[in-house]
Amino acid sequence: MDIYRFLSADDDSSFCHKVTKALAEGWVLYGEPKYCFDPDAGKMRCGQAVIKQVADQPYDPDRKLTDYE
C-alpha cells in the first residue's frame, strides 16, 4: 500500500529539513514542490507531496501516517 503526506512550511530552511527528514525515513518525492504567497502572514509558503510504500495492512484514518512501516 502507498501512503501519502503533504509537507508544508514557510519558505525557509525548516521546510528543507522537514523534506530531508522524510526522505531519510524512506518517503519518496511525489510531484513537484508548490509555492504560494500567504497574504495573512506576508510570507511565501511551500509544500511537497511525499509517498511511502508500506506492507499491506488495513488503513486506519486515526493512525499517524508516520506510524506505518
**Gap between the Cα atoms of 4 and 47, Å rounded:** 13
Query: What is the pairing mode between strands 43-53 and 28-38?
Result: antiparallel
Identify residue 25 by its one-letter amino acid code: E
In the chain, domain spans: 2-57
Give pLDDT tens digits for 11-31: 999 999 999 999 999 999 999
Give pLDDT tens digits for 36-57: 999 999 999 999 999 999 988 8
Q: Any residues with CB less than 8 A from the CB of 36 and at least 6 apart, and which?
A: 44, 45
At residue 6 the predicted structure's pLDDT band, cuts being 50, 70 and 90, is very high
